[in-house]
């Protein structure tokens, strides 16, 4: 009988806590902290400003950002004048050797993508994030050409960057 009463108390406490969290309107179970009166977001096309060219990276990054915000927030995406605005530009796209063999040949290369963001919250300017830079990289074997592995590497890098950007803007981690 004591065990049943203890379980019942735990369930009631958990239910009350759940109602309290849900009623505050700021926290969500996706980890975002968006004020209840913020309803829209504008995510324009990601500009490509890196010297080395990857023709599909801007599009991939734009779609991944829009998809992440669509899936994990209640925000409506609008073309202009959103309550939130996320402007991104790809500023770096570099390949460098990271490991060298005894005969001074690269054995491992690293593809690094760097992105700069400006995040504006028109209703709560204290949440703005200006001129913040994010980088992500993936290593690959030097016996492989960049052309052969670029698609897979970029997909992984974009996922990492989008997660970091999302966390720094609406998740505020």
Going by DSSP bridges, is the β-strand pair 84-100/106-121 parallel, antiparallel, or unpaired?
A: antiparallel
d(CA 68, CA 65): 5
Local confidence band at 3 (pLDDT 50, 70, 90 cut-offs): low
Higher pLDDT, 3 or 82: 82
Is residue 85 within 8 A of residue 124, CB to CB? The reply is no
pLDDT reading at 20 higher than 60: no
pLDDT reading at 12 higher than 90: no
What pTM did the predictor assign?
0.80
Q: Residues 19-36: what's their mean pLDDT?
A: 55
pLDDT at residue 26, as a whole number: 40
The C-alpha angle with vertex 27 and arms to 26 and 30, in degrees rounded to 5, equals 135
Higher pLDDT, 30 or 42: 42
Which residues are registered as beta bridge partners of 114? 92, 135
pLDDT reading at 30 higher than 50: no
Local confidence band at 33 (pLDDT 50, 70, 90 cut-offs): confident
Task: Read off the pLDDT of residues 35-59 as tens digits, 9 standing for 90 and up.
Answer: 999 999 999 999 999 999 999 999 9
Higher pLDDT, 142 or 66: 66
Local confidence band at 23 (pLDDT 50, 70, 90 cut-offs): very low
Sign of CA dihedral 168, 164, 40, 58: positive
């Amino acid at each position: 009988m004591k065990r049943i009463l203890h379980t019942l108390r735990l369930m009631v406490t958990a239910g009350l806590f759940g109602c309290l969290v849900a009623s505050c309107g700021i926290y969500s179970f996706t980890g975002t902290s968006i004020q209840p009166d913020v309803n829209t977001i504008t995510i324009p096309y990601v500009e490509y400003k890196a010297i080395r060219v990857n023709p599909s990276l801007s599009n991939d990054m734009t779609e991944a950002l829009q998809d992440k915000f669509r899936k994990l927030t209640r925000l409506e995406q609008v073309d202009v004048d959103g309550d939130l605005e996320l402007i991104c530009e790809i500023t770096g796209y570099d390949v460098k050797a990271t490991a060298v063999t005894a005969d001074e040949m690269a054995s491992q290369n690293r593809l690094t993508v760097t992105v700069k963001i400006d995040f504006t919250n028109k209703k709560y300017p204290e949440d703005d994030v200006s001129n913040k830079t994010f980088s992500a990289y993936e290593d690959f074997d030097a016996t492989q050409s960049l052309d052969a592995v670029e698609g897979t590497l970029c997909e992984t890098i974009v996922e990492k960057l989008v997660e970091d950007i999302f966390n720094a803007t609406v998740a505020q981690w």
